[in-house]
């Protein structure tokens, strides 16, 4: 089995996890710059600990990351050598608008992405741009409290207009927000939100979600107006919840967990809040404040395709005892119970290639829009040999099985799929843990958790393997 010509094979990164150069080229401070490495990371990411400036007690991995700001030509050349058709990256908002909503954009920041896109095209690589990937300008967090405040919509649309006008001829594929459902789990990462004492967290999160959804719809409308032919997608942190048993109570519980995530893209793909979501918010005492035309905007700004990340499936039970005793099935961000049928990665993420086929089918059944797998991969420890080679057979095995599942979904189930960009095609900072040790790349970067390392890039075995996969459109999986 293989993919048809035109299928976009490639890799994905995010500015906050690879660019570095956090104060260079006129860039302003952004939310991820103040999310530290270590035990406080999740507290800050979840909005439970307020940190809007850097201090001396913490280390901030985003400041240098893998310094792609200075290495992008070399890195894109390596992507070109692997045969990428597509490279997913995100824009650093504060490189363009250092305070988030400045009157004039920062020309140095704009020129940086111009050059980066030109470099992609030189290698025949189609850029796929995430407008906002875990990235809220600190100045706007100080001014508005992040996406809690409706005025964020205008700031975001201002950014979009600048991007679309400047890059409309260079970029066809766009994503409005990375993993928009992460807002519920990591409100500071997803929306620049930290909670004040006594604040109603559900109310704040869903109101912020509403603002992001309206902003996303406005971006879609604007993109279609300014860039005819552009494709704008939403992006979900996917992976179905399975019921722990065939007990209907478990099945209902798993459905509810799935709905928490679908909530967002149901709105982005269908243009309205689902009935069950309205009821659920009502029961939780959440009252959404809406402007008069918000519903019309949501209805008009539906996306052209559904993109998603897939690393693992999840499992859930309705029985509190089971949850208590088998609670290590999720990850640092989303909790779940252990699925006894699956093996786990070194970080406890449960490996489930068939789950990818299930996810593809579920999403297509639900939305009937083209899909795009924009993240998939294995976070693992790599050990360079004395001669510098890296034999990452575990990563190849993971990707092979997932690509097989994807091939089956497309060829046997008929799912329309635009492309596959594996996550962290070059090693970068982990979003959930801030580690460098948790590597996804096919390109190794000599950088350690403590910030040491030469930043030298080298090719892992998976580099040569993926090169063949792409060249054969998925037919040669190296078995
Ligand atoms: C997704 C994010 C990415 C990425 C990936 C892997 O949630 O969109 O930014 O980091 O997960 O997660 P981690 O880095 O925590 O291993």
Tokens matching residue 143: 């001014």
Active-site residue (options: 119, 126, 179, 212): 179
CA of 424 to the centre of ligand 1 (A): 9
Contact between 305 and 370 under an 8 Å Cβ cutoff? The reply is: yes
Name residue, tokens 């766009």: 174
What 3-state DSSP class applies to 428? coil
Q: Look at residue 354 and tell me whether its pLDDT is greater than 80.
A: yes
Between helix 107-122 and helix 68-82 the angle, nearest 10°, is 20
- Rounded mean pLDDT of 257-274? 96
Instruction: Tell me the backbone φ, ψ of residue 224, rounded to 5 degrees.
Output: -65, -30
Q: What is the pLDDT of residue 329?
A: 66
Measured CA to CA, the distance from residue 347 to residue 441 in angstroms comes to 16
- What residues flank ligand 1, with Cβ below 6 Å? 14, 17, 178-179, 237, 309, 375, 379, 423, 430-433, 438
Residues 6+ apart with CB under 8 A from 89: 12, 13, 14, 15, 116, 127, 128, 129, 130
Which element (helix H / strand E) includes 408?
A: helix 393-411
Measured CA to CA, the distance from residue 227 to residue 304 in angstroms comes to 13
DSSP code at position 30: B
- Rounded mean pLDDT of 210-233? 98
What average pLDDT does the chain have? 96
What 3-state DSSP class applies to 298? helix
Weakest-pLDDT range from 97-106, 137-146, 325-334, 461-470: 325-334
Q: Find the Cα–Cα–Cα–Cα dihedral 109, 114, 119, 125, rounded to 10°.
A: 110
Q: What is the pLDDT of residue 387?
A: 95
The sign of the dihedral angle between the CA atoms of 399, 403, 409, 412 is negative
Measured CA to CA, the distance from residue 216 to residue 87 in angstroms comes to 22
Residue of 423, 427, 438 to mutate, ligand 1, most atoms within 8 A of C-beta: 423
Contact between 248 and 190 under an 8 Å Cβ cutoff? The reply is: no
CA of 213 to the centre of ligand 1 (A): 21
Q: What is the pLDDT of residue 334?
A: 76
Q: What is the pLDDT of residue 332?
A: 65
- Rounded mean pLDDT of 427-443? 97
Weakest-pLDDT range from 306-310, 333-337, 440-444: 333-337
Going by C-alpha positions, the residue among 430, 431, 427 that lies closest to residue 463 is: 427
Active-site residue (options: 375, 386, 401, 475): 375
Q: What is the pLDDT of residue 330?
A: 64
Between helix 275-283 and helix 248-270 the angle, nearest 10°, is 110
What separation in angstroms does the CA of 155 have from each of 152, 158, 177? Answer: 5, 5, 14
- Rounded mean pLDDT of 241-245? 96
Q: What percent of the chain has pLDDT over 70?
A: 99
Residues 6+ apart with CB under 8 A from 185: 46, 333, 334
Tokens matching residue 436: 């460098």
Strands 371-375 and 350-351: unpaired
- Rounded mean pLDDT of 373-377? 98
- Rounded mean pLDDT of 111-117? 98
Q: What is the pLDDT of residue 328?
A: 72
Contact between 465 and 82 under an 8 Å Cβ cutoff? The reply is: no
Each residue's pLDDT tens digit, 15-33: 999 999 999 999 999 999 9
Largest CA distance in the chain: 65
Contact between 191 and 142 under an 8 Å Cβ cutoff? The reply is: no
Predicted TM-score of the model (pTM): 0.97
The residue among 63 and 334 whose pLDDT is bigger is 63
Residue of 17, 309, 312 to mutate, ligand 1, most atoms within 8 A of C-beta: 309
Strands 305-309 and 231-237: parallel
Measured CA to CA, the distance from residue 172 to residue 110 in angstroms comes to 17
DSSP code at position 198: T
Contact between 11 and 422 under an 8 Å Cβ cutoff? The reply is: yes
Q: What is the pLDDT of residue 67?
A: 98
Measured CA to CA, the distance from residue 397 to residue 79 in angstroms comes to 21
Q: What is the pLDDT of residue 333?
A: 73
Q: What is the pLDDT of residue 350?
A: 94
CA of 465 to the centre of ligand 1 (A): 23
> For residue 335, what pLDDT band results from cuts at 50, 70 and 90?
confident
Tokens matching residue 294: 């918000």
Each residue's pLDDT tens digit, 65-108: 999 999 999 999 999 999 999 999 999 999 999 999 999 999 99
DSSP codes of every residue in 218-231? HHHHHHHHHSTT-E
What 3-state DSSP class applies to 423? strand
Q: Look at residue 310 and tell me whether its pLDDT is greater than 70.
A: yes
Strands 350-351 and 343-344: antiparallel
Is residue 375 annotated as a catalytic residue, yes or no?
yes
Length of the chain: 479
Strands 343-344 and 417-423: unpaired
> For residue 479, what pLDDT band results from cuts at 50, 70 and 90?
confident
Q: Look at residue 327 and tell me whether its pLDDT is greater than 90.
A: no
**Which residue spans within 172-230 are E strands per DSSP?**
173-177
Atom 11 of ligand 1: nearest residue by CA position: 431
């Amino acid at each position: 089995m293989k993919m048809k010509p035109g299928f976009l094979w490639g890799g994905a990164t995010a500015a906050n996890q690879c660019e570095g150069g956090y104060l260079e080229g006129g860039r302003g401070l952004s939310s991820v710059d103040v999310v530290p490495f270590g035990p406080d990371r999740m507290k800050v990411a979840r909005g439970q600990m307020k940190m809007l400036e850097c201090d001396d007690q913490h280390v901030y991995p985003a400041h240098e990351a893998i310094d792609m700001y200075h290495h992008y030509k070399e890195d894109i050349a390596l992507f070109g050598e692997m045969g990428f058709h597509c490279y997913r990256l995100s824009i650093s908002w504060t490189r363009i608008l250092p305070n988030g909503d400045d009157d004039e954009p920062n020309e140095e920041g704009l020129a940086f992405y111009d050059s980066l896109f030109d470099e992609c095209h030189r290698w025949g690589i189609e850029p796929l741009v995430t407008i906002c990937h875990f990235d809220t300008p600190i100045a706007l967090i100080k001014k508005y409290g992040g996406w809690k405040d409706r005025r964020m919509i205008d700031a975001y649309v201002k950014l979009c207009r600048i991007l679309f006008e400047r890059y409309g001829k260079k970029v066809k594929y766009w994503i409005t927000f990375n993993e928009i459902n992460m807002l519920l789990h990591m409100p500071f990462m997803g929306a620049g939100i930290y909670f004040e004492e006594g604040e109603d967290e559900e109310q704040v999160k869903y109101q912020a979600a509403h603002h992001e959804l309206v902003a996303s719809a406005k971006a879609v409308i604007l993109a279609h107006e300014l860039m005819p032919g552009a494709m704008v997608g939403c992006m979900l942190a996917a992976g179905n919840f399975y019921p722990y048993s065939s007990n209907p109570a478990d099945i209902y519980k798993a459905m509810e967990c799935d709905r928490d995530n679908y909530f967002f893209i149901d709105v982005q793909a269908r243009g309205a809040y689902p009935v069950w979501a309205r009821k659920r918010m009502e029961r939780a005492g959440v009252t959404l404040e809406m402007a008069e035309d918000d519903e019309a905007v949501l209805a008009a700004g539906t996306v052209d395709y559904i993109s998603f990340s897939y690393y693992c499936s999840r499992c859930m039970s309705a029985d509190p005892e089971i949850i208590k005793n088998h609670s290590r099935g999720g990850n640092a961000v989303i909790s779940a119970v252990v699925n006894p049928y699956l093996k786990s990665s070194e970080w406890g993420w449960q490996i489930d290639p068939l789950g990818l086929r299930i996810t593809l089918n579920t999403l297509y059944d639900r939305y009937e829009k083209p899909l795009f797998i924009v993240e998939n991969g294995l976070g693992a420890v790599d050990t360079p040999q004395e001669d510098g080679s890296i034999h990452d057979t575990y990563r190849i095995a993971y990707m092979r099985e997932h690509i097989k599942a994807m091939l089956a979904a497309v060829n046997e189930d008929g799912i329309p799929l635009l492309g596959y960009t594996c996550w962290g095609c070059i090693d970068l900072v982990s979003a959930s843990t801030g580690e460098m040790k948790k590597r996804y790349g096919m390109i190794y970067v000599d950088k350690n958790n403590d910030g040491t390392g030469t930043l030298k890039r080298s090719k892992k075995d998976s580099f040569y393997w993926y090169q063949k996969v792409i060249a054969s459109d998925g037919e040669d999986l190296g078995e």
